[in-house]
Amino acid sequence: MNKINLIVQREYLTRVKKKSFIIMSIVGPILFAALMIVPAWIASEDEDSQNVEVIDETKMFIGQLQNSDEINFGFEFRSLKDAQEDLFNKEGKYTAVLHIPKVVVTHPRTVQIFYTSKPKGSSIDYMENQIARVIEDKKLHDLYNLSYDQVSGLRPEVGIVANKIDKTGNTEEKSDKLAMVLGMVLAMIIYFFIFLFGVQVMRGVLEEKTNRIIEVIISSVKPFELMMGKIVGIALVALTQVGLWVVLSSGIYAGSMAFFGDDIKENQKTQIEQVESSNPVGQELADATSDGTLFMKIKNNLDTIDFPVVIGCFIFFFLGGYLLYGSLFAAVGAAVDNETDTQQFMMPITIPLILAIVMAQVVMDNPDGQLAFWGSLFPLTSPILMMVRIPFGVDTWEVVLSMSILIISFIGTTWMAGKIYRIGILMYGKKPTFREIGKWIVTKT
């Protein structure tokens, strides 16, 4: 056991002191925070102020198109040719000309916009929604003498509240959308780190083998002790990096919101106002944002997730999945002489992992289905699929059974990998076949 501890310390300290580890520990959180902050910040900074001259041949849209923070409509009542000439010569106050022909009600795709500098796509979408709203309002009024607002009130937003009932009759409210996002994010983290650090185990073994360092090392320790030390040491490196990413990402995100929060919130408000203009649901969203009920809904959704259970299961399946696959990657590294030869042996290992990500889409849609149940018990897919299901709420016995199978499978694969490692670590000059590796497993040593 002392020898394993020494190997763990060596593997851990060697990797955390590398420049690549330090750089990725710093750059990773910056990239994660940038993915959340930069798009919203750029959108808020990239304002598209448009003064649009409307040439309305129907006279139906005069005063009906609502201005926004970025778009201001004006009506000059002149010919399209004159408006285009002023726009081209930049003599007028307008940045674009919106031409609405007489046939717009029956042929709505005949509307045209002329510009010298193209408006943003969202600005054009806003104009389309405004025109569509006025046309719809006219049709409703002509047919039923009803206004758009009157009809909008007849279309309420229906929301079904999900409640799970247990055997004792107790009910618990669930937020499916939040559970889907949370489960998928955690599953992707496990998938990413299994690949990233599992390959590090394989390369570490392969490097020591090709450099013949392994011949000196195993004179002092058993091959199994060396393999376990590498797997556990790199697992600690993975946990360290995840912890650093979480802490640094949270700090960077909080700091960014402190500096750019007002701009980002203003951009979100503008987007809501644009949706509001053409969709009655948008009006409810805007009202919810203004009076704080939206944030109360978000808080209530967060309350439906049992975060202590989710975090505890994430740590277990994160480590369990890594240890399971890490032992297999170590066996691959010991069986071959160069990285090129690893491809044929990695394929059977990586297929279940990739399949789990593909199956995750189906599992999110039906977390209590047969595919979800059996997939979350099969040890090669359970670290990902069970993590997808956990936020939805899974019976305790299923979680315990999945954990137990994963532990037993890890012990079995570690034993099998140890047999391959013990023989393959000293094999040089020959590319082994699956049949030969099978013989290594059953051979008594």
Q: CATH classification of 50-152, choosing from 3.40.50.410, 3.40.80.10, 3.40.190.10, 3.40.10.10?
A: 3.40.190.10
DSSP 3-state of 96: strand
Please, are residues 124 and 113 in contact by the beta-carbon 8 Å criterion?
Answer: yes
Q: Which two tokens stand for residue 361?
A: 């889409």
| pLDDT tens-digit series, residues 199-235 | 888 887 777 777 766 666 767 777 777 778 888 888 8
- DSSP letters spanning 299-336: HHHHHTS-HHHHHHHHHHHHHHHHHHHHHHHHHHHHH-
> Looking at the predicted structure, is the pLDDT value of residue 157 above 70?
no
Look at the block and give the residue holding tokens 């040089």. 428
Buried b (16+ CB within 10 A) or exposed e, 366-394: ebeeeebbebbbbbbbbbbbbbbbbbbbb
The residues spanned by each domain of the chain are 2-38+176-442, 50-152
Contact of 402 with 386, CB cutoff 8 Å: yes
Q: How does pLDDT run across 76-128, given as a tens digit for each residue?
A: 888 888 888 888 887 778 889 999 998 888 888 899 999 888 888 878 888 99
Backbone torsions φ then ψ of 219, nearest 5 degrees:
-75, -15
Encode pLDDT of 250-268 as tens digits: 787 677 667 655 555 555 5
H or E stretch at 442: helix 434-442
Q: Rounded CA gap, 37 and 22, in Å?
A: 23
Write the CA distances from 62 to 78, 87, 140, integer angstroms.
Answer: 13, 21, 18
Token pair recorded at residue 183: 């489960």
Structure confidence at residue 317 as a pLDDT band (50, 70, 90): very high
Mean pLDDT computed over 316-323: 89
- What is the band of 399 on the pLDDT scale with cuts at 50, 70, 90? very high
Grade residue 373 by pLDDT with cuts at 50, 70 and 90.
very high
147-151, 246-250, 430-434: the lowest-pLDDT one? 147-151
pLDDT at residue 98, rounded to an integer: 92
User: Over the chain, what is the mean pLDDT?
Assistant: 78
Are the C-beta atoms of 97 and 55 separated by less than 8 Å? yes
Tell me the mean pLDDT in the region 276-299.
Answer: 46
CB 15 within 8 A of CB 237: yes
Name, of 21-25, 362-366, 430-434, the range with top average pLDDT.
362-366
Q: What is the largest CA-CA distance in the chain?
A: 96
pLDDT, residue 406, reads: 93
pLDDT at 344: 77
- The average pLDDT across 295-313 equals 69
Q: Which string of b and e fits 7-36 if b means at least 16 CB within 10 Å? A: bbeebbeebbeeeebeebbeebbeebbeee
Cα 378 to Cα 9, 301, 343, 402, 409: the distances in Å are 32, 30, 24, 8, 9
Per residue in 22-40, pLDDT tens?
888 888 777 776 766 666 6
Q: Which whole number is the average pLDDT over 135-149?
A: 75
pLDDT for position 87:
85
For residue 3, what are its two tokens?
């020898």
Percent of the chain with pLDDT over 70: 75
Contact call for residues 263 and 136 (beta carbons, < 8 A): no
pLDDT in tens, 48-62: 688 899 999 988 888
